[in-house]
Amino acid sequence: MTSAAARPPTASYRLQLQPGFTFDDARRAVPYLAALGVSHLHLSPLLEAAPGSTHGYDTVDHGRVSEQLGGEGALRALAAQAHDHGLGLIADVVPNHMALPVPERLNGPLWEVLRNGPDDPHAAWFDVDWTSQRGPVDAPERGRLLLPLLGDRLGAVLDQLAVDGEVLRYHEHAFPLRPGTAGLALPELLARQWYRLAWWKLADEQLNYRRFFTVNELIAVRPEVPEVFEATHGVLLRLHREGVLDGFRIDHPDGLADPRGYLRRLAEASGGAYTVVEKILTGEERLPADWPCAGTTGYDALRRIDGVLTDRRGAERLAAAYRRDVGEPLDAAGSGRAGRAEMVAPGGALSAETARLARLVGRICAEGPELADHSPLAVRRALEGLLTGYPVYRPYVVPGEPAPPEAVAALAAPEGASDTERLVRELALGRLGRSAARDEFCLRFGQTASAVAAKGVEDTAFYRFNALLSLNEVGGLPERPGVSPEAFHAWCAEQEREWPGGMTALSTHDTKRSADARARLAVLAELPEVWAAECAAWTSAAGPCPDRSSAWLLWQTLVAAWPLPVERLVGVLVKSAREAKLRTSWKEPDEGFEGRLTRYARGAAADPVLGPRIAGFVRLLEPFARVNSLSAALLHLLAPGVPDVFQGGEEPLYTLVDPDNRAPVDLGALAVRLADSPEPRPGDLAREKLHLTAAALRLRRAGPLGSYRPVAAQGPAAEHLVAFGRGERVLAAATRLPYGLHRAGGWRDTAVELPTGRWTDLLTGRHFVGGPVELSYLFQQSPVALLSEGA
């Protein structure tokens, strides 16, 4: 059998490793995953993370494989088992940040920096603005690191601080003492440390280290520094050289100072290993062509697949109904802009990051008289406006190189812009000469812009604008719902031409709702008036909701994941309300509102009349949701790219936002069902989806599928077909907008032309011959078909 490392992936399977699902558990699942048909296992982060981590993105030690997952020996055993079955391993790499853990000693490099300050050799690891916080009383010019983790203002918790030898303790926290300070009285001792302990609520305005988005517990590292790259990637690169790992998935490349430079260094160090990047592309944005990688992790595919199965006009009617009912003056795009603006405003969640950019501009203006006399307030306002209005995640400007055309267009000063606005835009484009401060601003602007986009849109607006929740996914454009079949085909052709090795995805550890949950919700766009009337009836039965927008969220969440245990429901509602930041928030939780919302949800879920009515409506949706689930799976598995199957997604999966979607999956039970599965009966969605997934994955693994070509139907229902060929011997056909198709009377006289030959549907075993085939006959047993010529 060909070595897995010697061939590119045909399909991958994402496993969420955690203490409840270790390397040994993954090893035991290898025979099943090989039988399913994937070529590679896609593993969540492997290095030592904070104790109990269920995701692994909070790395504490880059020097060893996670002992919580079983250690390096168990990883090697997993790799050996995988390679014996012809499978490779793709590892998730977290280059942007590591944990600021509790206790802090777990992060060894950071511990040394806290002890020794900015002159410690490890200080270069962390992205800290040492100039923004006055240093210890005996070295005020050196600066210190702000640690905003106290439960109240410092004066209110002094009695909760205690010196224990060479360590300062605060509850479960522990901090190293600067050498020579252990015997000092507490006030003087605090004043002489290289860190400043502060109330946690000060972080958004005063934080002086870059973090992952707004998560204070994840401190940014700097892999652009060669020794930091080597230290943080050494174990993973060694495991690749030794044949344990076969490829890499790069988490959040937009947080890096120079993503392209990072990828070039990684490609050189790994000998060009298969690498994909978690790059979020907005709208028609394209992955930079000069990035040395195979492509993205697949959110761009998710939007196209969901989009081609979503009724655009119906979604727009739902949005209009939502705005009328809630009294929302903003559309989805306006909600996104408002979310961004709130992030960067004084006191906003990314106010400290915006202030850091403003300080850099101040330093730049002091470098020469030609840039002098710009008001700090005007600089801050210019930055806020630019970060609010930037159309995609970030620009990719490298100091000393011409700015990419996309960045030039996005950063061009509008007519009437002030001199300060023009200054800020030119600095972001790297056009005003070179200096350390100018280069830093150019790179840091991109990092900050990506955080503003992620937190302002996906983690704020997407929790506020609840018209149709299936649109509110990473990389989504709820203001532009739906994708035409022509646009879908055009994207697929481009994907095949430009990024044939890029991943495609439908569910991930970061999707707010799994693919099958979204498939149910997509049906609502086809019957907006029916759904609006049903919602009104449910609200009438349950009584007035504490918040109208939350009512839309509640009812759609119940539909998406029905039957839904009430604790899961309540957890999603409270998290969503806090992320929306309108009636409550993580920073300022409103216990009264959250209590009212929770009681309302519990009452609705327990209502003896309402529960059966919700169940009945879900049953009404189910035939059409089944079509959407199978169609999405077929398009995902057969379209250009490398399909990445999220754990458990080979069967219907109705999970919600994390942590709901990260629980371990019983792969042993799936293995039994795959081995014992008879031919699926129409309507048995679990067996149908598992059978479809295995058939498509095995077809992919058997050999290249061939070039992509759109296939059109002829007849009155032609718009309800999305189909394409892969080479001359494979044809995939799926049904779209099934409720509308049903309302219009079905396929009627609509047909598709099969090329000459004898074709077998790998999903049903039925045979067809070349020539026109009525779609009512093709889809007699299933709403999708996977035809292979000569099989």
- Residue 505's DSSP bridge partners are 644
Element housing 383 (H / E): helix 376-389
At 193, the amino acid letter reads Q
pLDDT of residue 1: 34
Q: In what order do the strands lie in the sheet with 503-505?
A: 295-296, 274-277, 247-250, 88-93, 40-43, 12-15, 642-646, 503-505
Query: Percent of the chain having pLDDT more than 90?
Result: 97
Mean pLDDT over each residue of the chain, to the nearest integer:
96
Alpha-carbon distance of 5 to 18, in angstroms, equals 25
pLDDT at 56 over 50: yes
pLDDT at 3 over 70: no
pLDDT at 679 over 90: no
pLDDT-derived band at 677, boundaries 50, 70, 90: confident
The helix/strand/coil state of 345 is: coil
pLDDT of residue 370: 87
Alpha-carbon distance of 406 to 415, in angstroms, equals 19
What digits encode the pLDDT tens for the residues 458-508? 999 999 999 999 999 999 999 999 999 999 999 999 999 999 999 999 999
Q: Backbone phi, then psi, for 249, in 5-degree steps?
A: -110, 125
Q: Are 569 and 598 in contact (CB under 8 A)?
A: no
387-420 CB burial, b ≥16 within 10 A, e <16: bbebebbbbbbbbeeebbeebeebbeeeeeeeeb
The helix/strand/coil state of 220 is: strand
Between the alpha carbon of residue 354 and those of residues 1, 323, 330, 361, 446, the distances in Å are 54, 32, 25, 11, 12
Alpha-carbon distance of 173 to 144, in angstroms, equals 18
Q: Are 606 and 598 in contact (CB under 8 A)?
A: no
Q: How many residues belong to the chain?
A: 791
Joined together, the tokens standing for residue 115 give 């002890």
* Residue with the two structure tokens 């999305």: 722
Inter-axis angle of helices 312-326 and 548-561, nearest 10: 140
Query: Percent of the chain having pLDDT more than 70?
Result: 99
pLDDT-derived band at 169, boundaries 50, 70, 90: very high
Inter-axis angle of helices 685-702 and 610-638, nearest 10: 10
pLDDT of residue 2: 41
Between the alpha carbon of residue 588 and those of residues 214, 266, 301, 349, 582, the distances in Å are 15, 41, 36, 12, 10
Q: What is the dihedral of CA 639, 661, 219, 340, to 10 degrees?
A: 70
Alpha-carbon distance of 77 to 564, in angstroms, equals 38
What digits encode the pLDDT tens for the residues 231-244? 999 999 999 999 99
What digits encode the pLDDT tens for the residues 647-670? 999 999 999 999 999 999 999 999
Query: CA angle 333-335-340, nearest 5°?
Result: 100
Tell me the mean pLDDT in the region 615-643. 98
The total of other beta-carbon atoms located within 10 Å of residue 711's CB is: 17
**Among 154, 137, 33, which Cα is nearest to 85's?**
33
Q: Are 30 and 43 in contact (CB under 8 A)?
A: no
pTM of the model: 0.96
Q: Are strands 195-199 and 145-150 parallel, antiparallel or unpaired?
A: parallel
Q: Are 180 and 153 in contact (CB under 8 A)?
A: no
The total of other beta-carbon atoms located within 10 Å of residue 6's CB is: 8
**Among 369, 453, 450, 386, which Cα is nearest to 424's?**
386
What digits encode the pLDDT tens for the residues 521-569? 999 999 999 999 999 999 999 999 999 999 999 999 999 999 999 999 9
**Among 615, 618, 628, which Cα is nearest to 741's?**
628
pLDDT of residue 441: 98
What digits encode the pLDDT tens for the residues 330-361? 999 999 999 999 999 999 999 999 999 999 99
What digits encode the pLDDT tens for the residues 178-191? 999 999 999 999 99
Q: For the chain, how far is it from start to end, CA to CA, in angstroms?
A: 23
pLDDT-derived band at 6, boundaries 50, 70, 90: low
Q: Backbone phi, then psi, for 202, in 5-degree steps?
A: -80, -10
pLDDT at 247 over 80: yes
Full DSSP string of 266-332:
HHHHHTS-EEEE-----TT----TT--SSEE-SHHHHHHHHHHTS-HHHHHHHHHHHHHHHT--S-H
Alpha-carbon distance of 437 to 81, in angstroms, equals 51
At 556, the amino acid letter reads Q
| Residue 544 neighbours by CB under 8 Å, 6+ apart | none
CA atoms within 13 A on the CB side of 190: 16
Q: Are 474 and 400 in contact (CB under 8 A)?
A: no
Alpha-carbon distance of 86 to 88, in angstroms, equals 7
What digits encode the pLDDT tens for the residues 737-776? 999 999 999 999 999 999 999 999 999 999 999 999 999 9
What digits encode the pLDDT tens for the residues 64-112? 999 999 999 999 999 999 999 999 999 999 999 999 999 999 999 999 9
Element housing 644 (H / E): strand 642-646
Inter-axis angle of helices 23-36 and 71-84, nearest 10: 10
Q: Are 99 and 107 in contact (CB under 8 A)?
A: yes
Between the alpha carbon of residue 12 and those of residues 87, 305, 504, 697, the distances in Å are 9, 18, 10, 9
